[in-house]
Each structure stands twice: as C-alpha cells, then as structure tokens.
Chains A and B, each alone.
Chain A
Amino acid sequence: MIDHEAVIGLEVHVQLATRSKIFCGCSTRFGAPPNTQICTVCTGQPGALPVLNRQVIEHAVRMALACGCTIRHRSRFARKNYFYPDLPKGYQISQYERPLAEGGQLEVWLPTGERSRVGITRIHVEEDAGKSIHGAEGGQSRVDLNRAGVPLIEIVSEPDLRHPVQAAHYMRTLRGMVRALGVSDGNMEQGSLRCDANVSLRPVGTTRLGVKTEVKNINSFRFVQHALEYEIARQSDVLRAGGVVRQETRLWDAAAGVTRSMRSKEQAEDYRYFPDPDLPQVVLDPAWVERLRHTLPELPDARRHRYVEQLGLPPDDAAALTREHELADYFEATVAAGAAPRRASSWILTELLARVSDARDVARARVTAERLAGLLQLWDDGRISSALAKQIWPLMWDSAEDAQTIARREHLFQDSDGEVIEAQIRRVIEDNPQQVAQYREGKQKVFGFFVGQVMRATSGKANPQLVNQLLRKLLD
C-alpha cells in the first residue's frame, strides 16, 4: 500500500486594525448594530467612488516587510466580479496581477522543537464583503454591510506545509506577527483571521502535486487542524479505495466536523478580474518603505531566538512566551527589573498565566512585572523559599502591595538565623531518638523526615538549604 503525504498551502485573510474602512470614512468597530456603519461608498450607491485609506497600505507594507517579501513600488487594485447579496457593488476591490508584495518566508516552530520554513507567495490588499444573516423571520435572509469595506490583507503561502498541526502553528505565527506589528488585533472570535486551505495528497517520495481541494470557512487554529485532518483522511480514503480526488471547493462545517462539497472545478466562478479604473496605481516611495523597514519592532521569531540563545531559555518556554507579545513584554520587563530569566520565565508561564484568562491581559495585570521581579529577587536572595513565594503570590494579587511588604507583615521571611534553626534541630533530634538511630544505621530516607519536622517547627520559614546543612552537621 502506498503511503501518502499531504501538501498544504494556506490563504489567510487578516483584518487590518484601522479606525476607518479601506475606501471610505466609516468606522470599522466590531459589534455595532447592523447597518449603522455604512455610507454611499461601502453600500455601492451609484456614483460613489473609492478613496484609498493610506493607513491600510502602511499596515500591509509593514506585515509584508516582516515576512521578508519584496514590496512592489507600483501595485494596482483589481475588481473581482461575482454576485452575492452581501457584496454591494457586485465586485470586490482586491489585487490580482500586481499585488503589493511577493516572495517572502516565515519560520514556524512546533511544540516538538522542530522548525520549518514556509514560503510566502504573495500578500495583497482587499476589502471585506458584508455579512449575510440567513434564517431571519419569515425565512428571509438579511444583509449587514457594517463589515463591507473593512480592510484585509490576504497572505498566500507556498504549498510548504505538510501536517495539520504545522498549519495551525503557521497561522499562530502569523497572528503573533500581525499583533506584534500592531497591524491587526488578531481577534479570532471576531473573525480577524480567517483561512482557506488548499490540500492535496501525493505518494511519499514523489514531487508532483496531486489534485487539490480548497477548504473554505476556517476561522480558528483548532479548526485549521481539524479541517485539514478530516480532509486529508477523506482524500486518503478516496485514494486507498482506488478512486481519484475531484478538484473542488469544499466548505468546512465546524459543527459537524466535516468538509462538504460546495462546487466543482466546472462550476468554479470566473471572476473576470481587471484593473479597477476608479483607483490609480498605488505608488510607493522606496525611501518611505525603507523607513518602515527600519522602524519594525522586534518580531516574535527574533525574540524566540534571542531568548534561547542569549537568555538560555528552553525553546518551548521561548515559544510560549512569544506567542502573545504582551507576555513577552511582561517577561522582558521582569528580567529588566532584576529577575533571573529562567526563573522569571517559568513563573510567568505557570503562576502568572494561571491568574489571567487571556495572556494578552498581562499588560494590565494587577501585579506588574516590577512587582514580580521583586518577589523573584527575594527568592533568589534566599530570603524566601519557593514555597513561601507561592504563599506570598496570591497576597500580592489581593493587596496590591509589593512582596517585601507582604512578607514582612505576614512574617513570611525565611529564617536564616543559624542559632535559632540549630536550637530547633536539637529539639527535633531529642524528641525522635528512634529515627536518629535509624538514620545512624544508614537509613538515609529518614533524613527527609527530619527536614519536614524542622520546617513544620519553623512554620516553613527556615531556609531549607541551611536546614539541610545544619541537620547533616548535627546528625552525622
């Protein structure tokens, strides 16, 4: 039996974070009542003309530069013609023959530590359509045009992806980038990132591409993975049964967890692209593009590398910290305030994330990075133990006081007074002659018993290292 491998390419639509729409002044705010953010332009009134929002081009160019694309200094808008009630003009203004950017690549990290390069074919700018709401009263369909004219970029990848998990991580990578750049809010639940996937199978070891299907309507990382897993299994079944995959467009049905045929190649739309005569060429000043290139922030990928190579973090931690730039910013602020990087990283990824529902919220967290650094420094200095740190941590969230103040008030400093501890140890030794005898007979396990007794006697405040050291001295 022949083994097949999947060949996957993604077309990801990213909604750009602009105040107004791409070709008119209407607001792009999400969640407004239907048809309250519309005007003559975005509803396609006869005679209305598009005027390009400059911010859209700036955002798109920044993302394209971040992906290492070549920027076209003269690009064009084109009309993509098709009929649908939520497409007011009967065409979508997009880019076709001369997109804004071409030929970049990204590095995708998997949780396994594997890294792979994914080529970017092109990035182009376009407007969103409106939203059809089916099944309203009386079996009617309704149209909300608030979203019509919201700016999008479409990022088309090369067919470089092989696994559904990798595809999901590729999408996560894109999301991290657009958020770090500030060109999109990357809000999955509001549809800020949507994806269509092209997938085909071919026998392992061959290079010719198989017949592909295009799976549409995927709007989360989880669904990218599920939809691709489903589609790959479906194609694989077809091939194993000796059949052929039909070239077609399929729709991902998230509720049912299946892809369904939408239209075949023969029924494919002919979009009749042509340059939009209402919009002149987009001409970019190369010097302006260079200025944008030089003002790009450090991207998640570069941060990951730096965390591993310069700060010595495990790759997993580095990847987790850089998934949301707010988290990475928090981490760096904690380190800058004096915390040790590895300790800061593990604390943030466990204790801090346990306290916030969304990693993006850490920027506004009650316990600031400086306060966390204060806590970790007490630990580093041996003034508190990890156990004490975990006792102080919730109090910091309740009181908005720093770790030192809380530790002092609650008497949670570790006891490092050798004489006091030694006195406690002597008492424990006196009270437990049987265990002492066992230990001296060579039962090392009993050592832990003594540590526990001493810690209990000091209400957990004794410096554990000191306890260890003194116990050995007095027992041996």
Chain B
Amino acid sequence: MTDLGASDLAGRIRAREVTAQAVTRAHLDRIAALDSTLNSFITVDAEGALASARQVDQRLERGEPVGPLCGVPVALKDNLVTAGIETTAGSRVLRGWRPPYDGTVVARLRAADAVLLGKLNMDEFAMGSSCESSAHGPCRNPWDTGRVPGGSSGGAAAAVAAGLCAAALGTDTGGSIRQPASFCGVVGLKPTYGRVSRMGVIAFASSLDQVGPLARTVRDCALLLEVIGGPDVKDSTCLPAPLQPGSLQQACQRRELKRLRVGIPREYLDQGGLEPSVERAVREAIATLAELGAEVRDVSLPHTRYAIAAYYLIATAEASSNLARYDGVRFGPTLPGARGNLDQMYSASRGEFGAEVKRRIMLGTFALCAGYHDAYYGRAQRVRALIQRDFQRVFDGGCDVIACPTSPCSAFRLGQRLDDPLQMYLADIFTISCNLAGLPGLALPCGLCDEGLPVGLQLLGPPLSEATLLGAGAAYEHATAWHTLRPPLDPVTS
C-alpha cells in the first residue's frame, strides 16, 4: 500500500477497494518503523490523519462526493502553515508555534480530501541544500543513510522515496524541491512563480519562493498541482491563470515527443565540477528524449555564471527582512536572557537562529546597506533581468523546453560540506536560474551514479508551461524504469 502512488491510491479508495483508514495506518506504521532512522518528519499528526481518513471513509460509505485526493496520505514541509499543528520551519525560533490559520495550499489539500500525515524536516527556514541545518537534526537519505537527502525539502524527498507518504509538498527558492527530489530518486516540480499561492508559506525569499509537489510519478505531481495551484486573492503575486481540473493529468498521457524542441544549454553541461556519472546519466536521458521524437539542439544562456552570486544577494536580502519578525515579541518561548531590556530581548531571541540562517541574515543585511545597496542588491537585480532575458531568447527562438542536470552531483555524505558553505552554494548552479527567472522546473529520476545513488534530469520551460513539462516528463517516465527503483531500505512490513 505504501508503494502505490497518489493517483492509484485515490482511485482504489474511491472504488472502495481499500479504506482510507487502512492506507493511513499503513503509512503511520511505516513512519514508526523507519523514521527514527530517516528523521524525515518533525511532527506526525497520527490522530488528525486518522480522523480525516475516517471522515473520507464515512463519506464514501454514505455515497457522498469526495475530492480528487480522497484518502491520499500527504505530508507537508514544515514551512507550510497548518492551523493548530506546530509549524517551525525547522527552526528553534518557532518552536511551539501553533499557527492560527491554514495556508492556502493546506486548505486546498484538505478540501480535496487529502489525509495530512504531518510536517517534514527541512533546512532551517529553507536555507540549505542538505537538510543538515534543521534544528530538529539532519534528515537522512533512504538510499544511503550516511548521506544527505538534499535540501531544503529534504524531509519531503526522503519521506516520498521511503514510502512514508504518497506525496508531499515542498518549497523551492533556489532548487529546494528539485535537488532533494534528484538526490532521493523521486519527481519534484517547482511551478511557475505565481502558479501556487504563497499565503501560508513561511517566507525565505518572497520573490523566489514557490510551493510544489514531490511524488513518485510525474502524473502524481500533476494531480497535486491541479489541487494546490491557481489564483488566490490572498496572495497578490499569484497569477490570474486558472488551472482546469484534469488538464495537467491529461498532459501526462503523452507517450512520444514528436516536434518537441529541447534545448541543451552549453553553459550547463560544460560546467566544471559536473560529476562524470551524473553527466553520463543526463546525456543518456537526453538521447532517450531524442528517441521519443524530440528535436535536441544546443542553446546558450550566457549569464549563467552570474546566477549564483545574484541569487545569494537577492535571496539573502529578502530573507534578512522576512526574518526580522522573529524578534522575541510574539513567537517562541520567552528566553531567560530576554528578560532585561529591549536589546537583550533581541539578542537572546535572535541568538536562537542557527549558523547558516545567521550567515544569510548578515549577508542580506549587508547587501541592502546604504552605500552598498546599488553595488550588491541593485546589481543583482540587473543580473536577474539579464538571466530572464537569456531564457526568453531561448524560448522565443523556438525551444519548448530546456533539459539539463538537476544537480552537478549525487547525494553527498552527511557533514561533508558543512564547513564549506561556498561549495554548498555552488551546487545550486542548475536550479537557481529557474527561480531567478520565475520559470517552472521539473526534476525526475534518470539513472544511478557510480555509487548507486539516484541522478535527476531537469526540464525547464517558459512561464505557465507546466503541462508541456509534465507531458515530456511523463513520456520519458513511460519509456524508462528509473522512477520504479526504490531505495534499499531494511525490509519492513508494509
């Protein structure tokens, strides 16, 4: 049961072949068996999940209508706000915070009758590429528990890969859905900026953050995006582009890629530091796309090399402001050191942030300072515009999608890069431009590296081209078996 995907489970529960409660229990049992090792969950809401499952079963018994995710066990990255369920964004600063409201994506999942299992581990405030900066301890990769699951949505990718939930929602600011999906061998979709409401997403970098699904198939990602996406009056940056129910799943029927024009950015594949076995897997995947009928062509994104610098200025600048509200006045427990004057309260409260978050707040504060503002933040914004133009030229020039690696490497060892933040940042090279340009990006399994760890293929498209990306991904998935590989976890009853 824990091996079935979201679409399959919804179908079987709706057909009453299996009860939502049985499915929920199977997943809760598997979490109990495996998650002490993986640490992918921060909070498991067994009671709430079983109550939702019971309601779904009762509605089905009475012949009442149910939503498209009826009884599907879904888990949420811990930066997605859930009413009454502790939401920490992986930080000590927010421990004990039980939000007074549900974010839009959470409300939409509930309305679609999903069963919400709990909250998933993540890098603190989504700042990291390894899930090691979490205040709740690192999450581990189910393919090799000595390795990281990627980040920042590491808990989401690990839980989906290990069958602890049928699907999950993560957030992606610079690759935080796609890179862990790639490290854990699952499918992850970062939608177009504005496709999904950010209302109820604890902000890291507001102009880059986007919620998206992680699942074991492309089709399941399509199903989830149909549920969570579309306009929201509570988020002014949400695009006024409605998503027709079924339209994305329909796109996943695609089995060939005739006339699909696929661009391969030479700046990406010629990138130094690309692991040879990752490159090999991605080149094979591109060859498969061509076999399916795609026209593969060489394209150029000349400003790629400035992307990481621009990203780490813009993202940290916005973060320095977004995280200012954690000042000890309203969130988190009152700390012993905070009982003096105002400055003491601020330093005690803000001392609770982890090292990576502090580093980024400092960097962002500096980038916005009078005298440096234009040289850093201002210039980064100009680079961002150039990167957007690079992509627009490629798409206007007749490319439908861009194909490239998701990450230059496969999952690295826990602790391996902790002392070298720059190396960690550089590994975001293939995912970051997509956020700067506001484009959709799909990561899907396309092979194993020499060490037997998953490698991810990434497809990027113009704004609102999710249907094209999902269609291409589905055709590739149908032609290959990579998505069916499961991590070699200890055999447990499921």
Chain B residue nearest to A46 (CB atoms) is B202
Is A280 in contact with chain B by the CB < 8 A criterion? yes
Task: Please measure, in the bound complex, the distance between the C-alpha atom of A18 and the C-alpha atom of B179, giving whole angstroms.
Answer: 46
* Contact in complex: B94, A91 (CB < 8 Å): no
CA distance A204 to B203 in the complex (A): 54
Stretch at the interface among B285-293, B368-376, B460-468: B368-376
CA distance A83 to B205 in the complex (A): 19
Q: Are B327 and A51 in contact (CB under 8 A)?
A: no
Residue pair A90, B368 in contact (C-beta under 8 Å): no
Residue of A nearest to B365 (CB): A272
Q: What is the CB-to-nearest-CB distance from B126 to chain A, in angstroms, rounded to a whole number? A: 12
Q: Is the CB of B201 within 8 A of A280?
A: no
Q: Which of B87, B97, B199, B377 contacts A49 (CB 8 A)?
A: B199
Contact check, A85 vs B321: say whether CB atoms are below 8 A apart.
no
Q: When the two chains form their complex, are residues B236 and A274 in contact, meaning their CB atoms are under 8 A apart?
A: no
A85 touches B236 (CB 8 A): no
B324 engages A91 (CB within 8 Å):
yes
Which residue of B89, B99, B233 contacts A45 across the interface (Cβ within 8 Å)? B99
A12 to B109, CA, bound (A): 47
Q: A270-B370, A277-B206, A280-B237 are in contact. Are A46 and B324 (CB under 8 A)?
A: no
- Residues facing B in A1-60 (CB within 8 A) are 40, 43-52
Q: Which residues of B contact A169 (CB under 8 A)?
A: none
Q: What is the chain A residue whose CB lies nearest that of B80?
A: A47
Residues of B within 8 A of A278 (CB): 203, 206, 236-237
Chain A window 43-82, contacts with chain B (Cβ cutoff 8 Å), 1 for yes, 0 for no: 1111111111000000000000000000000000001010
Is A475 on the interface with B (CB-CB < 8 A)? no
In the complex the two chains form, is A47's CB within 8 Å of B202's CB?
yes
A336 within 8 A of B: no
Interface pair B99/A83, CB less than 8 Å apart: no
> Nearest chain B CB to A281's CB is how many angstroms away?
10
Residues from chain B with Cβ under 8 Å of A88 in the complex: 325, 329-330
> Whole-angstrom distance between the alpha carbons of A274 and B199 in the complex?
21
Given A47-B201, A47-B203, A85-B329, CB of A272 within 8 Å of CB of B236: no
- For residue A436, CB closer than 8 A to chain B, the reply is no
Closest chain-B Cβ to A400's Cβ sits at a distance in Å of 51
Is B237's CB under 8 angstroms from A45's CB?
A: no
B198 within 8 A of A: yes
Q: Considering residues A46, A52, A90, A277, which has the most beta carbons from chain B within 10 angstroms of its beta carbon?
A: A46
Asked if B201 and A83 sit within 8 Å, CB to CB, the answer is no
How many angstroms from the CA of A165 to the CA of B387 in the assembled complex?
55
Chain A nearest CB, measured from B120 CB (Å): 16
Query: In the complex, how many angstroms separate the beta carbon of B17 from the nearest chain A beta carbon?
Result: 37
Chain A nearest CB, measured from B124 CB (Å): 13
User: What residues on B are CB-neighbors of A47 within 8 Å?
Assistant: 80-81, 99, 103, 198-203
Contact of B324 among A51, A81, A85, A279 (CB under 8 A): A81
Q: Closest B-chain residue to A268, C-beta based? A: B370
In the complex with contacts A46-B89, A81-B368, A274-B327 CB distance below 8 A: no
A46 touches B331 (CB 8 A): yes
Question: 1/0 per position for A165-182, CB-CB distance to B under 8 A?
Answer: 000000000000000000
Q: Mark interface residues in B74-94 (1 if CB within 8 Å of A CB, else 0).
A: 000000110000010100001
Selected from B318, B320, B342, the residue in CB contact (under 8 A) with A85 is B342
Contact B321 A274 (CB under 8 A): yes
Q: Is A89 an interface residue (CB 8 A)?
A: yes
Residues of B with C-beta under 8 A to A277: 205-207, 237, 318
The answer for the CA separation of A351 and B289 in the assembled complex, in Å, is 91
Is B488 an interface residue when CB atoms closer than 8 A count as contact? Answer: no
Query: Which B433-482 residues sit within 8 Å CB-CB of chain A?
Result: none
What separation, in Å, do the CA atoms of A49 and B207 have in the docked complex?
13
**Distance in angstroms between the alpha carbons of A51 and B234 in the assembled complex:** 6
Q: Whole-angstrom distance between the alpha carbons of A79 and B317 in the complex?
A: 11
CA distance A382 to B94 in the complex (A): 82
8 Å CB interface, A88-102 against B: 88-91
A110 in the interface (beta carbon within 8 A): no
Q: Does A284 contact B (CB under 8 A)?
A: no
**Residue in contact with B369 in the complex, picked from A49, A79, A270, CB distance below 8 Å:** A270
Q: Mark B228-247, 1 if CB is under 8 A from A, else 0.
A: 00000111110000000000
- In the complex, A51 Cα to B235 Cα: how many Å? 7
Q: Are B321's CB and A91's CB within 8 A?
A: yes
Q: In this assembly, does B100 line the interface, its C-beta being within 8 Å of a C-beta of chain A?
A: yes
Given contacts A47-B103, A277-B237, are A85 and B369 in contact (CB under 8 A)?
Answer: no
Distance in Å from the Cβ of B127 to the closest Cβ of chain A?
Answer: 15
Q: Known interface pairs A49-B234, A51-B234, A85-B327. Does A272 touch B321 (Cβ–Cβ under 8 Å)? A: yes
How long is the Cα–Cα vector from A143 to B328 in the complex, in angstroms? 13
- Assuming the A-B contacts A270-B369, A278-B206, A280-B237, are A83 and B103 also in contact, with contact meaning beta carbons closer than 8 angstroms in the complex? no
By a CB distance below 8 angstroms, the chain B residues around A52 are: 236
B346 within 8 A of A: yes
How long is the Cα–Cα vector from A81 to B321 in the complex, in angstroms?
Answer: 7
A90 lies within 8 A of B327 (CB)? yes
Alpha-carbon gap, A147 to B471, bound state (A): 50
Within the complex, the shortest CB–CB distance from A278 to chain B, in Å, comes to 5
Interface pair A45/B101, CB less than 8 Å apart: yes
Q: How far is the CA of A295 from the CA of B160 in the complex (A)?
A: 60
Least CB distance, B437 to chain A, in whole angstroms: 15
Q: Is the CB of A90 within 8 A of B325?
A: yes
Whole-angstrom distance between the alpha carbons of A270 and B97 in the complex?
A: 31
Q: A85-B329, A143-B329, A274-B368 are in contact. Are A51 and B203 (CB under 8 A)?
A: no
Q: With A49-B235, A50-B236 in contact, do A90 and B198 touch (Cβ < 8 Å)?
A: no
B residues less than 8 Å from A49 (CB atoms): 198-199, 234-237
In the bound complex, what is the Cα–Cα distance between A433 and B65 (angstroms)? 113
Check A46 against B94 for contact (C-beta < 8 Å): yes
On whether the beta carbons of A79 and B202 are closer than 8 Å, the reply is no
Within 8 Å by CB of B203, from A46, A85, A274, lies A46
| Known A45-B100, A90-B321, A274-B377; contact A83-B202, beta-carbon cutoff 8 A | no
Residues of A within 8 A of B323 (CB): 90
Q: Do residues B236 and A46 form an inter-chain contact, with CB atoms below 8 A?
A: no
B342 CB contacts on chain A under 8 angstroms:
85
Q: Given A40-B101, A47-B103, A272-B373, answer yes or no on A83-B89 (Cβ-Cβ < 8 Å).
A: no
Q: List 27 A-B contacts (CB under 8 A).
A: A40-B100, A44-B330, A45-B81, A45-B99, A46-B87, A46-B325, A47-B81, A47-B103, A47-B199, A47-B201, A47-B202, A47-B203, A48-B200, A49-B236, A50-B236, A51-B233, A51-B236, A81-B321, A83-B346, A85-B327, A85-B329, A91-B324, A270-B370, A272-B320, A272-B321, A278-B237, A280-B236
The 10 closest A-B pairs by CB, nearest first: A90-B324, A277-B207, A272-B368, A277-B206, A47-B81, A47-B200, A46-B202, A44-B325, A90-B325, A270-B370
CB within 8 Å of A: which residues of B?
Answer: 80-81, 87, 89, 94, 97, 99-101, 103, 198-203, 205-207, 233-237, 317-318, 320-321, 323-325, 327, 329-331, 342, 346, 365, 368-370, 373, 377
Give 16 new A-B contacts, CB below 8 A, not counting A46-B87, A46-B203: A44-B330, A46-B89, A46-B99, A46-B325, A47-B103, A47-B198, A47-B203, A50-B236, A90-B323, A270-B369, A270-B370, A277-B206, A278-B203, A278-B236, A278-B237, A280-B236
